[in-house]
Structure 1
Amino acid sequence: MTAEPGTEYPALTGRKRWVALLFLAFGVAMIILDATVVNVAIPTMVEDLDLTTTDAEWVNSIYSLVFASLLLLSGRLSDIVGRRFMFLGGVTLFAVASVLVASAESSSALIGARGLQGIGAAMILPSSLSVLNAVYRGKDRAIAFAVWGATIGGMAAMGPLVGGWLTTNASWHWAFLINVPIALAVFIGVLLMVPETKDTTHRRGIDVPGALLGTLGLAALVFGLIEGQNYGWLRPKKQFEAAGFTWPLDNVSPAFVSLVLSALLLLGFVWLERRRKAAGQIVLLDLGLFRIKTFGMGNAVAALVSLGEFGLLFILPLFLQSVIGYDALETGVILLALAAGSFLASGLGAPLAKRFGPVPVLRLGMALEVIGVLWLA
């Protein structure tokens, strides 16, 4: 993904910039809510559709697998075809897939629809960030990025609450059908309020070999990390079956093979991108960005925070419902504290960074993250 603000497109100004930000944030909120709402809805879905344990695992996993593996590619495509176009396409696909999830009557239909949701989400997330970078300036951009980040953290925590309330008071179907009116409002709002932007500072085109290696490498990595606990990190714990395929090896787990394969593919991706960059060819990801200290460290910190927060959001609902005995709504209310903390921090982060500098604020945030995780443990 690339965006060159200040040279291509005029900044959004006046009240319009905040209305546009609101619709973009709702689009991001929709996909983050859906990533976590399943955690509290899955027990009811298992009972209603007579899902097996493997089916339930894939309903959870396929969304993250498809979502993560397509982020790089969809980010580059949004620069070429238009960021607003990609965002609106993702919103449309996500809404259609949500209807398919809600109307699914079999495990295969449900898992396939969740995969489509993952594609739509992968189109929405990077394009929304590129739009913010292209049409906001200075302090407005800092506020927009803060709202974007707070939306992700806050909605991840609110997902179980929303899903729990809908599952308890209506049905699990409405945990997905609620996306349709949200998507419609977001589509209209973004179409009217957000200008189209493209990357005109780099050569057009797609690094096809890099896209293949990067997408397959990320998919293999995410699969291995998700399924290692289920199927064994080295030795098989149980038989792996998917879409009529049965894992043929008795001594090595599919998760281990997937992780090894991901390492080879991602190393190949790094080698290819460096070679193409040196030859002056189009690259999917400019690895030179990671030599910029703030960029590299910022991504490392974001990864650590995400591991802590999203790991908790997966484990806590299962613990609270399966071990403590809370229902879906009670679980969501407890997790609401995480959303409150995220929204509060987003409002305080910018003024604190301006007064004390970003590094002390970053250290404080990481310290609070560690303390919170250890306290829960």
Structure 2
Amino acid sequence: MQNRRWLGLVFISIAVSLIIVDSTIVNVAIPAIVDDLGITSTQVQWVQEAYTLVFASLLLVFGSLADRFGRRRIMLLGVVIFVLSSIAAAFAPTGDLLILARLIQGIGGAMILPTTLSLINATFRGRERGIAFAVWGSTIGGMAAVGPLLGGWLTTAFSWRWAFGINIPLGILIIIGVLLTVAESRDENTRSIDIMGGALSFITFGALVFGLIEGRTLGWWATEGDFTIGSWTWPWALSPVPVAFLIAILGAVAFIAWGIHRERTGRVSLLSFSLFRIGTFRNGNIAAMLVSLGEFGIILSLPLWLQFVLGFDALQTGLILLALAGGSFVASGAAAGASSRIPAVWVVRVGLAAEIIGVVWVGLVIAPDAAWGWLIPALFVYGFGVGLATAQLTGV
């Protein structure tokens, strides 16, 4: 039973790797996709971000559903959806169908991520839980950087379509492994599903991500491009982007008010806002936001600079970003070993300090005539910080 739990952690980590890699693997394949499908610059952005839009919008919803209907069940259903949509993406003949497949991938990813965290929390106790969370967190940090390498190799050696096709054997491996090694768990105290909270969460995150994606194309205030849905075209001079941001703000206010109302009436809300009164929970979430903004910002923008400014191919770009993954995985071992001797908050602080040093270093290196070799140690230091911070955030 002891070995089975740790083997289950391996398959849970592979499941996390699947969705994190897919959020970054496409970045280095974009030039090949443009050449093959002839997609526009707006479609390029949607190919990259459609997955993120749905993923972010549904995380809270599926986390709540998993507590009620079973975390392993929801995770496996998510893997199936993810694999089927990956097949659709791999065979997509047009940009629009590729975007649709990416949207469906986001649904599967949103079912997988929160359930992996819940399964670890239900399976491990005490010091073992700290080690398991360290593995989970460092997997996220490291695999985000492995994605561009894997995508670069598949695109260069085979085709960009294999950047999605690789998910098929991994998905099958996860399904078999989880069924054999991970026990089902659910929250027996869950009394009802917060349908209104789920709808408000989806509207809020969906509108926010839409505005951030389309701002450059449609205009941040005045309309600069056509926004068309079917035969209908946006008719006003005011861009739909500020309207989307207004909807996001109103949705967030309504979501918070609705959640507090449900808690006061003794009902379960999608997100327990009383948790934010706990300093460690609140500060841990702020730290997680900063870590995510920094890492995914680098991984989204740096491949474009390396390929379009320095002229690197997809594989070379992925190899450079591997330094970030290496730093994260080294930090995983350090964090696991220190979990019983050093308070988690100090591990996170050291990680954030290393991230600041790394990102400043990267910023100083980047220039049109830059020597790319200096990026390697900078990314390693940054990755080391990401690994430390993400490994112990759940213990803060």
Aligned mate of 1:265, from 243, 251, 258: 251
In 2, the alpha carbon distance for the partners of 1:186 and 1:244 equals 42
Give 1:50 deviation, angstroms.
1.4
Post-superposition CA distance 1:186-221 (Å, at most 9, x none): 000001111111110231x21111111111111111
1:228 maps onto 2:215 in alignment: yes
1:175 maps onto 2:177 in alignment: no
Alignment match, 2:112: 124
In 1, the alpha carbon distance for the partners of 2:266 and 2:145 equals 44
The one-letter code of the counterpart of 1:272 is W
Identical-residue share of aligned pairs (%): 51
Structure 2 unaligned residues grouped into runs of 5+: 364-396
Give 1:237 deviation, angstroms.
3.8
Alignment match, 2:317: 331
CA 150–284 in structure 1, closer or farther in 2 if over 3 Å, else same: same
Aligned mate of 1:278, from 259, 264, 270: 264
Aligned mate of 1:291, from 277, 295, 302: 277
The one-letter code of the counterpart of 1:76 is S
Alignment match, 1:64: 52
Give 1:33 deviation, angstroms.
0.8
Alignment match, 2:190: 202
Aligned mate of 1:213, from 196, 200, 218: 200
The normalised TM-score by structure 1 is 0.93
Alignment match, 1:24: 12
Post-superposition CA distance 1:67-103 (Å, at most 9, x none): 0000000000111110000000000111100000001
CA 56–201 in structure 1, closer or farther in 2 if over 3 Å, else same: same
Alignment match, 2:139: 151
Give 1:244 deviation, angstroms.
4.8
In 2, the alpha carbon distance for the partners of 1:263 and 1:23 equals 38
The one-letter code of the counterpart of 1:208 is I
Alignment match, 2:226: 239
Contact 2:42 2:217 in 1 (8 A): no
The normalised TM-score by structure 2 is 0.89
CA 104–244 in structure 1, closer or farther in 2 if over 3 Å, else same: farther
In 2, the alpha carbon distance for the partners of 1:319 and 1:143 equals 36
CA RMSD in angstroms comes to: 1.4
Aligned mate of 2:178, from 187, 190, 196: 190
In 1, the alpha carbon distance for the partners of 2:310 and 2:65 equals 45
Contact 2:306 2:317 in 1 (8 A): yes
Contact 2:51 2:102 in 1 (8 A): yes
Aligned mate of 1:322, from 308, 318, 325: 308
Aligned mate of 2:151, from 144, 163, 177: 163
In 1, the alpha carbon distance for the partners of 2:288 and 2:180 equals 32
SS of corresponding position for 2:341: helix
The one-letter code of the counterpart of 1:289 is L
Give 1:243 deviation, angstroms.
4.8
In 2, the alpha carbon distance for the partners of 1:189 and 1:275 equals 41
In 1, the alpha carbon distance for the partners of 2:132 and 2:229 equals 42
| TM alignment of 1:42-61, pairs within 5 A | 42-61=30-49
Larger deviation, residues 322-331 vs 221-230: 221-230
SS of corresponding position for 2:63: helix
CA 337–277 in structure 1, closer or farther in 2 if over 3 Å, else same: same
Alignment match, 2:355: 369
Contact 2:130 2:339 in 1 (8 A): no
Give 1:357 deviation, angstroms.
2.2
In 2, the alpha carbon distance for the partners of 1:304 and 1:255 equals 24
Contact 2:68 2:190 in 1 (8 A): no
1:249 maps onto 2:236 in alignment: yes
Post-superposition CA distance 1:259-299 (Å, at most 9, x none): 11101001001001101110112211110011111111001
The one-letter code of the counterpart of 2:322 is L
CA 245–22 in structure 1, closer or farther in 2 if over 3 Å, else same: farther
1:85 maps onto 2:73 in alignment: yes
